[in-house]
Amino acid sequence: MSKDVRVTLEDVITHFEDLEDPRSSINQRHPLVSVVVIAVMGVLAGASGPTGIAKWARMKKDLLLGTLELPNGIPAKDVFRRVLAALRPDAFQSCFVGWLESLRQAACEEGAVSQPVFAVDGKTNRRSHDRKRGLGALHAVSLWASELGLSLGQVACEEKSNEITAIPELLRLVDLQGAIITIDAMGTQKAIAKQIVEGGADYVLAVKGNQESLETAIADAFLAETENDFASGKVRKHETTETAHGRTTTRTYYQKPAPRSLVDSAAWAGLRTIGMVIAVCLRDGKETVEIRRYISSLGMGVQRFARAVRGHWGIENSCHWILDVVYREDDSRIRDQRARENFAWLDRFTLSLLKQHPSKDSIAMKRRSCGWSDDFLMEVLTGKAT
């Protein structure tokens, strides 16, 4: 590799220089920073565990010895396993904050996104359980910047029901200023809405059965408008139609100012509007209808409301689906509690890096290209052409 590659990798190494080494002194034959950077590179190239990272590293010996400090050669698989199992997930993730912030700023400028949508949602790695040790499958709540293709934070919790406590912790990890935060109904909590507003962001929160009175009140508010043929002039409407995968879906978005009579309206910090989305799906001659309702701190502007709702659905399509199908995260059998959480974060972070590369190839093809081409790998890793 050229000298320029070594120079650009120095920017990557800097992010991990303050990471505290959890190993005993006798196990520090390989610099911690080098081990972590190799792990990031290995996952970019398609590795799905410590064994895969080590095997890839051996095959890329010349590249790694020429770009990283490795006085004792290429680390073995046990080195990667021990390091990922020893590092505290919160400390490990905090090292990426500066890197992610630079990626976020660049993505916002390139895409001219003034108010990005940050979707909060949970995902379970189904095979990461260890019944003999009483360890349930890893469930992690993450924050995905839909339009930017960036995973900005992750917090693990023992099960889906604990998302309510994990979400506030996750929101504290990320600079929310100027964003729109979207969360499914489980996270529609007054304290969470307050935290978002105090963080300088707006929210669009789904309302379902867990807020039954609120959901009914929103439904009644829009029903009254419908029965009066929207004579009040307060409702805004936006409609989209999409055809894909053999089905045609028409979504109609409605938005209106939140009524003062809305249940507990004063207790929801910053509440300004309510919204409703009616999705009509036609497939093989069969029609299905789904209705979703929302509360929001956004002012009137139905297209902005629609963008936020669509952005939330993006976490399933452009993040979770890729983690399952391309990264095969559901097949992972990493069962050490810290190692599986750290590896889940590596998956999300490397997906973010791959999303930033301008190539039009699929994520699967980009990962293969990272394995095949050192130059392409360096472009993805550093964000610069080699």
Q: Residue 232: give its domain's CATH number.
A: 3.90.350
> In this structure, are 229 and 186 located in the same domain?
yes
Kindly state whether residues 126 and 271 are assigned to the same domain: yes
Q: Give me the pLDDT at residue 326, please.
A: 94
Tens-place pLDDT, residues 70-120: 999 999 999 999 999 999 999 999 999 888 988 888 888 776 677 899 999
Mean pLDDT, the chain, rounded, equals 89
Final residue of a structural domain among 326, 348, 371? 326
Same domain, 80 and 102: no
Q: Are residues 270 and 136 in the same domain?
A: yes
Q: Are residues 169 and 72 in the same domain?
A: no
CB proximity list for 381: less than 8 A, separation 6 or greater: 9, 12, 40, 41, 44, 353
Domain end call among 326, 347, 372:
326
Rounded to an integer, the average pLDDT of 191-211 is 95
Task: Show the domain range for 47.
Answer: 5-87+336-382
Same domain, 163 and 240: yes
In this predicted model, what pLDDT tens digit does every residue of 120-146 receive, in sequence order? 998 877 666 666 666 666 788 999 998
> In total, how many domains does the chain have?
2
Does residue 197 share a domain with residue 72?
Answer: no
Cα 173 from Cα 201, distance rounded (Å): 14
Same-domain status, 22 and 146:
no
Same domain membership, residue 98 and residue 71: no
Q: Are residues 160 and 217 in the same domain?
A: yes
Measured CA to CA, the distance from residue 168 to residue 163 in angstroms comes to 9
Cα–Cα distance measured from residue 42 to residue 40, given in angstroms and rounded to the nearest whole number: 6
Beta bridge partners of 249: 242, 281
Other CB atoms within 10 Å distance of the CB of residue 173: 16
Q: 167 in a domain, yes or no?
A: yes
Cα 261 to chain centroid distance, Å, stands at: 36
Where does the pLDDT of residue 386 fall: very low under 50, low under 70, confident under 90, or very high at 90 and above?
low
Mean pLDDT of 196-224: 94
The answer to whether residue 331 is domain-embedded is no
Whole-angstrom distance, CA of residue 258 vs CA of residue 271: 7
Q: What percent of the chain has pLDDT over 70?
A: 92
- Ramachandran region of residue 284, left (φ > 0), alpha (ψ -120 to 50) or beta? left
Q: Do 110 and 222 lie in a common domain?
A: yes
Whether 271 and 192 share a structural domain = yes
- The pLDDT score that the predictor gives to residue 2 is 44
For tokens 């916002």, name the residue: 108
Domain presence at residue 364: yes
pTM (two decimals): 0.89
Beta bridge partners of 125: 138
- For residues 15-27, one letter each, b for 16 or more C-beta atoms within 10 angstroms of the residue's C-beta and e for the rest, the string is bbeebeebbeeee
Residue 248 has pLDDT above 60, yes or no: yes
Residue range 169-180: average pLDDT?
94
State the CB neighbour count (10 A cutoff) for residue 112.
6
